[in-house]
Amino acid sequence: MSAASAQAVLLFIGALVAAVAFVGLVFGANALLSPRKPTPEKLEPFECGMPPAGDPHVRYPIRYASVAVLFVIFDVEAVLLFAVASKLHGSIGGGLAVLVFSSMLALGLAYAWKTGALKWRS
């Protein structure tokens, strides 16, 4: 390893150590200097100055999260397909790659449909 690359590595490690030390210093100063006097008013959830309406810890069903993840996955993949399709310009290799990618997405959608991940049960 040359002297220049060793110097670059040492500079990187020094910057990393300095960053970690700064974060530790800030968190330590916060722990030492911040006042700690919890009151019932401070421990209530903040709702824009109005009295709380119900329990603040509402449990969401896992079905909501799985449908949201499936939506994000297929939405992003559809956007990526449009971006790739605009750059193909009649390329057979690119067309085959898009076909393979689309078929994998279709298989994933068929699997999600078959397992009932797309059904909303209340």
**pLDDT per position as a tens digit, 73-82:** 888 888 888 8
What pLDDT sits at residue 112?
87
Q: What is the rounded CA–CA span in Å between residue 16 and residue 21?
A: 9
How does DSSP classify residue 58?
A: P
What pLDDT sits at residue 70?
87
Question: By CB neighbour count within 10 A (0-12 exposed, 13-18 middle, 19+ buried), where does 70 fall?
Answer: middle
Alpha helices in the chain (DSSP H): 3-33, 40-43, 62-88, 92-114
The overall pTM is greater than 0.75: no
How does DSSP classify residue 8?
A: H
Q: What is the rounded CA–CA span in Å between residue 4 and residue 8?
A: 6
